[in-house]
Every structure is written in structure tokens, then in C-alpha cells.
A and B are shown apart, each in its own frame.
Chain A
């Protein structure tokens, strides 16, 4: 695993460079917007990456809360399995099929539901109890960074194209902003809370934030249908060459996000080990509970416990 990190770093650097070349020099210029549209190659991949990271944060938080008691864990597993089965079967029923918006296939909805359930169990399998919380911090921090990029590149693009920096009634802008606010408050809570139960409180807040997102979406969706506002993208399909470059960029950004998460994850783990070792050391000091041993016996570095 140790060797994999530098290899991935090199691959990511190459991929980012290639994606940059493709985005700036290869992709065709947009007929209506000119070169300004090229910011899409940074805006959209950042948004997708941020949403993915927030989703993993939500899954890790639910897992963390559920793992507190065996009974809640069983209940949560049951709910996730039910969601997976219902999500896989329901889109194919004729009544539900009619309700799906145009362009959304039943098979893609079913696959998404199955993937959500699978991610839940995979995260639970590979991240034991405390690692779940480390995963949640990591994804929230990196997600906020990517979400910030989205919120900065958006207005830069909107000013020349729409003529305004910000469309207050637009559904995606506002939902993303609220999502960003929720996760910043999540990070603030983690920073300000000094009890041993920060992890639990943070996980609770993450669940609240996730519940909030669909409500924000629907409220603004209705808000906008009353007050028409400029819409992102302008509809229609994308030039396949542009889509190709967009996907390359997304892959590069995903690799980059994965790399940053990986290093942040290791850092957070180390920090907690040092904290534990320091707590242990203060216990073992003269006057503590145990007889005073020599200081060097407390392992500060990682090793077999």
C-alpha cells in the first residue's frame, strides 16, 4: 500500500495535465458562449466530486451512529436492504415508470439504488468503528474544498454568459450554497466541540444536513417555477467531444480527490494515535494509576499494538 501512494500521485499529475491540455486546447469552442464555457471542465467535475464526497460522509455518519448498538445496526442494515430492493424493483413497475422524468431510464435508477446499498455495506466492511469517523471528517473537509471551487467558478462563468453573478432563485445554485453552508457548520462544530463525543454529535449533524438537502431542492424548485430565472446549461445535448473531455476531467479530479483524501485520512489517523499515546503517557506518569515505567516504553509511532 505504501508504494501505491506515490504511483497514484504520479498518475494523478499526468491525468490532470492531460485533462488540462484537452480542456484548453483540444475541446471545440462553444458556438454561443465562446471560450468562456471552458470553465465547465473545472466547475462540473468539482461539483460531482463534492457531491460524491458528501454522500460518502453521509453514509459513514449513518454507519457510525448505527454501529453504536447491535440492535440499531441490524435495523439500519434492514432499512438499507429494503431501500436497495425497493429501488431496484420499483422503477420497472408501470405506475412508477410513468412518473420518471424524461431522459431518466428505469435501469439507471435501479442501478443507482443498488450502488447506494452496496456502498453502505462496503464502507461498513472496510472501515471499523473509529475509522468511520475519520472517513467522515476527511470527506467533509475535502468536499467543502471542492464545493468552494464550484461556488467560485460558477459566478465567474455566469457573469459573461447570463449577465449576472448570481441567480438567487436558481435551484442548483441555491441548493449547492445551502449544502456548502451545512458542511461548513459541520466543520465548525467539529472545531468547537472539545468533548470526547464530538464524533457522535458531528454524525448527528451530518444526518440532519442530508435530510435537509431534498427539502431545499423542492422548496427552490417550486420557488423557481413561480419566478422564472435563467437555467444552467440551456438544455439540449452536449457535443460528444465536449462530453469526452468533461469525463476525462472528472476522472482526473476524482483521482486528485482520492489522493488528497488518502493523505488526509492517514494524517488524521496518526493524529489520533499520537493523542491516545499522550493520554496513555499522562496516565503512566508518577502519581498516575500505574507504577512509573521509563518514558520510552510508550510507543508514539505506529507499530504492533
Chain B
């Protein structure tokens, strides 16, 4: 049996290569979040001062919706040609597959964020008044929180009818504390009124708790058939 990380790496390279050639998920995600941004621009036309207070929410809601588009594709791809069944009967560790999928989604969603953030800055004329570098840990931890639970619940919703609808229904309630952390942390940095340390610690706690839970329970979900 090959080692855990070599399986993870093989699955991850396969996913990234597939995505690189087809660009299905990434294009859909990018265009979707572009639409969300444009709709937000039409709906809210704030002054620079007001926009600092609301953009934290807008940015993360846009990313959350866009991430769901990518997360839905994660496992659906493996259903064709019974790839998932083959994986299930193979002796490879279930968590190796899970970690590879999470890392893949993390790369895609981070890429999306890197491309969409400039648009938000242009449309809303943003300039942070707090310590800007703290946005990086918030973005990384927040993206991980979205992606780790999203990948897990996407695997869970595979077993249900109308699975594309099921994923947000399962994911959003559990994501609420993480979303609150991302939005409040981002707003604090943009406005510079309050420190964002608590929210970074909260996101870190959330990530540790749910990554552990996902790794502990993923095999149960994968084998459930």
C-alpha cells in the first residue's frame, strides 16, 4: 500500500490537471461571483465610509456562494465511470482522498478570491484603515473553514436526491460561526475601529475542531452506500 501523502498528492495532481484542461468549475465560479459582485454594485451604492462597513459581508457572501458551485463539482466528477466505487474498494486510506479534495478546493477557491478581490476594491473604492496584513490569515483560515466542511458535506449530499440543492442546506447552518468570524474580522480591519485578533482565533478554533471532526468521520460517510 502506498503511503498516505503519495495518494493525496496523486489525487490532487489529477484534480488540478483535470481542472486545468476543462476549467469547468473555475470558469463557472468566476463568472458566478462576477455576477454577484455586479448585482451587489447595483443593489448598494454606498459612500466610501459606508462601504467599509458592508463590504466584509458582501465579499464573503459572494465567495460562499461561488465556493458552493465548485464544491458541488468535487464529487460529482468521481461518480462518472464509478470512480468513487473503485476508490471505496481500494485499500487506500479514505482520508487521503478527503485531504486531496480539500486541498484542491482550497487552491480553486483561493484563486477565485485572488482574482475577485481587486474587483471589489475597484467597485467599492476600498482602502483599509486597520492593519491590512491581517486580512491574509483571515482569508486563509476562512477559506479553509468553507472548504473543509463544504467538501465533507458535498460527499454527504452525494447520497441524497437533488444533491446540488442539498449541499447549501447542510453547509450554511454549520458555517454560520465561521462566516461571522470572517465578516466581522474583515469589517474590523477595513474600518480600523476594533482589533480583529479574536476573530482570527475563533476561525483557527473552528478550523481545528471541524478538520478533526471531518477526518474522524469521513470514512463513515464514504462507505455509506
Q: Which residues of A contact B (CB under 8 A)?
A: 65, 68, 178, 181-182, 184-185, 188-189, 192-198, 200-201, 204-205, 207-209, 211-212, 215-216, 218-220, 222-223, 226
What are 25 A-to-B residue pairs whose CB atoms are below 8 Å?
A65-B217, A178-B176, A178-B177, A182-B173, A185-B170, A188-B166, A189-B156, A189-B166, A189-B170, A192-B161, A193-B159, A193-B160, A200-B221, A201-B156, A201-B224, A205-B156, A209-B173, A211-B213, A212-B173, A212-B177, A215-B177, A218-B202, A219-B180, A219-B181, A219-B202
Quick check: B224 and A195 within 8 Å, CB to CB?
yes
- Chain B: which residue is nearest A199 at the CB level? B224
- Nearest to A212 among chain B residues (CB) is B174
Assembled-state Cα–Cα distance A185/B225 (Å): 20
User: Is A192 a contact of B160 with CB atoms below 8 Å?
Assistant: yes
Contact of A215 among B156, B172, B205, B224 (CB under 8 A): B205
Report the bound CA distance from A192 to B170 in whole Å: 11
In terms of DSSP, what is the predominant structure of the interface of chain A? helix
**Distance in Å: Cβ of A49 to nearest Cβ of chain B:** 21
Does B35 sit at the interface, judged by CB under 8 A? Answer: no
Contact status B220-A194, CB under 8 Å: no
> With A and B bound together, what is the CA distance between A223 and B183 in angstroms?
11
Sorted from nearest, which 5 A-B pairs have the closest CB atoms?
A197-B224, A181-B173, A215-B177, A192-B160, A193-B160
Q: A189-B160, A197-B159, A211-B209 are in contact. List 11 more A-B contacts (CB 8 A).
A: A65-B217, A178-B176, A193-B159, A193-B160, A197-B225, A208-B213, A211-B213, A215-B178, A215-B206, A218-B177, A223-B184
- Flag if B169 contacts A185 (CB, 8 Å): yes
* A216-B176 CB under 8 A given contacts A185-B169, A192-B166: yes
Quick one: which of B161, B173, B206, B221 contacts A204, CB cutoff 8 A? B221
What 0/1 readout, one digit per residue, does chain B (191-225) give for beta carbons within 8 Å of chain A? Answer: 00010001000100110011001000100110011
Q: A205 touching B170 by the CB < 8 A rule?
A: yes
B170 touches A204 (CB 8 A): no
Q: Which residues in B have their C-beta under 8 angstroms from that of A195?
A: 159-160, 224-225
Question: A262 CB to closest chain B CB, in angstroms?
Answer: 29
Q: Given that A178-B176, A215-B202 are known contacts, is A68 also in contact with B220, CB under 8 Å in the complex?
A: yes
Question: For residue A207, which residues in chain B have a CB less than 8 angstroms away from its CB?
Answer: 213, 217
What residues on B are CB-neighbors of A196 within 8 Å?
225
> Smallest Cβ distance from A201 to chain B, in angstroms?
5
User: Nearest A residue to B224 by beta-carbon distance?
Assistant: A197
A216 to B205, CA, bound (A): 12
Tell me how far the C-beta of A124 lies from the nearest C-beta in chain B, rounded to whole angstroms.
18
Min CB–CB distance B85 → chain A (angstroms)? 14
Residue numbers in A under 8 Å from B220 (CB-CB) = 65, 68, 200, 204
Q: Find the residue from A184, A215, A218 having the highest chain B CB count within 10 A.
A: A215
B3 contacts chain A at the CB level, 8 A cutoff: no
Which residues of chain B have C-beta atoms less than 8 A from A220's C-beta?
180
Q: Which residues of B contact A192 (CB under 8 A)?
A: 160-162, 166
- Shortest Cβ distance from A200 into B: residue: B224
Inter-chain contacts of B206 with A (CB < 8 A): 215
